[in-house]
Structure 1
Amino acid sequence: MKILIVKLSSLGDVVHTMPAVQDILCAAPNAQIDWVVERGFASLVQRCQGVRRVIASDLRRWRKAPFSHETRRAWGVFKAELQQEHYDAVIDLQGLTKSALVAWLARLSKGGKRYGLANQTEGSSFEAPARWVAHQAISLPAHSHAVTRSRELCAQALHFSLPDDLIFGLVAQRVQVPLVNTEMAHAPGLRGVVALVHGTSRADKQWPLAHWRDLAQRLNEAGFGVVLPHGNPAEQLVARDIAQGLARAQVWPVLPLDVLTDALATCHGVIGVDSGLSHIAVALNLPHVQIYNFDTAWRTGPLAESDHDSCRADFSPPWSTEVDPTKSRYSPRQCSVFAQPTPSVDAVWQAWLGVLSSADDA
């Protein structure tokens, strides 16, 4: 059975789709699964177990100059790659016009069908062409977690029951560049390194700088080094401000997404705002606290233990160089913290101590 997944963006949404791939393979181990995604996230999807072929698109860039010679040429290359195969099922998990267009262009095998969303789910975008293009538009509960939405759509489209286990299948590889300085790595009594994910695409999701500095200081005093990833000059300035004056803190360079994933996998844990990197931390099953200024963690945050019986995900013990995809862990090692206008440092710190205790007990 050949299946095409259409989930183009954004980073967090792409990560949230990975368990659906693992569900399909659990139900149909011989399935061949291809995935269309924005080029910027292609290297991450290549790390998702069970994805045979990643088809990279540049729809975001093409929209800026749709009639240029370069865009027409690139579109032709993309379309030819997309139509190399005939699929038994094309599943649009995005629910937007652009994803519907990709699903419509994909070729079907004899008897093949296109599947998509029939309705909007709370907090997620939806556009009518996603329903029109689908041979079968599937209705889902309006109040659905982002992970559950994709899993349920695939299960209904392909007629299988969801497995109890939640598996992301995101595999990290050996880090090829030194990302923790020698002084920190060999510091006496170092318990591990914690990544602080402070950057986010929305200003209203940010946590105050003073809170980050207080948290980083507490981590240092508790024996943890702090590393600070960033993706642009503005985030780099914030990272430097957080690290300033701390004994065990390092600002990472800008890293390709796949290398950054590998680097996060070597950390003892991650504390971050609602962002793509935080969702990667969830997929790697690292001890993780996710910070919310809005009551939306039910939709995008780590799934609570009550949402599933057990959660299997790839996990790397501190300082190991590779992730073992067979390790099984569950959600108490990850949680979200919500308050308005923003969670306090004490609340985040207590949550961190909680996930550490759960990780130690596992």
Structure 2
Amino acid sequence: MEGFEGMMEGLLGFESGGGVMPGVKVSDITFAGVPVRVYEPPAGGEGHLRRGLMFFHGGGWALGTGKKGSYDTTNRMLSDELNAVVVSVEYRLYPEVHFPVPYLDCLAAAKHFLSPEVRARYAMDPERVAVTGDSAGGNLAAAVAQEIATDETMSVKFSVQALIYPALQALDFNTPSYLQNQNIPVLHRPLMVRFWLQYLGADLSLLAQLLANNHSSLHHPSITPELRARLDWTALLPPKRRRDHRGGGGPLVVEKGPGGPAKELPGLLDARASPLLAGPEVLAKCPRAYILTCEHDVLRDDGLMYARRLQDAGVAVTSEHYEDGFHGCFSFTVWPMDFDIGKRAVRAYLDWLQKNL
């Protein structure tokens, strides 16, 4: 497991420096007490309001920083090409904290970002503000987008959400993509389950129980049929994605799992941790979405199911799927790990924001 985490740390930019984008001003400050890095586009075009974009980095709620490597390079590109004020949030990580602290950090920063004072300071257009993130950051972006969308006290809300292979649920670790890609780097199935256990503040010895879906057995009194339907991949995935590796034909639902795991995972059914569990009335208020998924990724089906549920709720969704993609490829854009798939993914994402934000 340590080897996987070491690979993830390298991927998330611990060793690489960010690219230089002439004219982009970079400042490390705080929003509502949360450390952030602000990227301001080159001067010029006075009189025109800028786009705004809030970014949450990935890393299993335990690793990474938005200040280095490909994250920094991409955010500089976004600021420059979109004429956008980009804010990358340095939310607190495990083992210092666990859920809901990272989410609350991101929500506090987001509310500050959308405040009249900050919008005026950076000359941001209130109708062109996005929230985005990859992997665990995509989880946080989806959760924050839901909260802001349903908060009647917020006069300005996010216009769009852009989610890069987001982690969206912790009830079913036996979806087709979890089984198909369980041994595919850089995000092996046991590692993703471990990240979830850490995030939920649970005992890591429960890993085997979660891998077997014992934590979401029929014995769990709070998991209703309606709730299970919100992540029923047999209904939500496109036909060609409904692959079954167990021979049973449907989701793995254990009849009599041990009672312990459910009791020790208090955030398991909280939509702030698992945005895929949100009700249709919440999804209907969410901003239009861009959801990037990769074929060779345990999180593929999370993103595809969320795209379908948002569409069913009436939200406009662009679902960008890469048959040759793998988890983390969005960050493989900086030498010596500059892959063609990474460059294509970043370019498509940036082009979508250019047209939709």
TM-score (norm 2): 0.29
Greater relative contact order (CA < 8 Å, ≥ 6 in sequence): 2
Max radius of gyration: which structure?
Answer: 1
TM-score (norm 1): 0.29
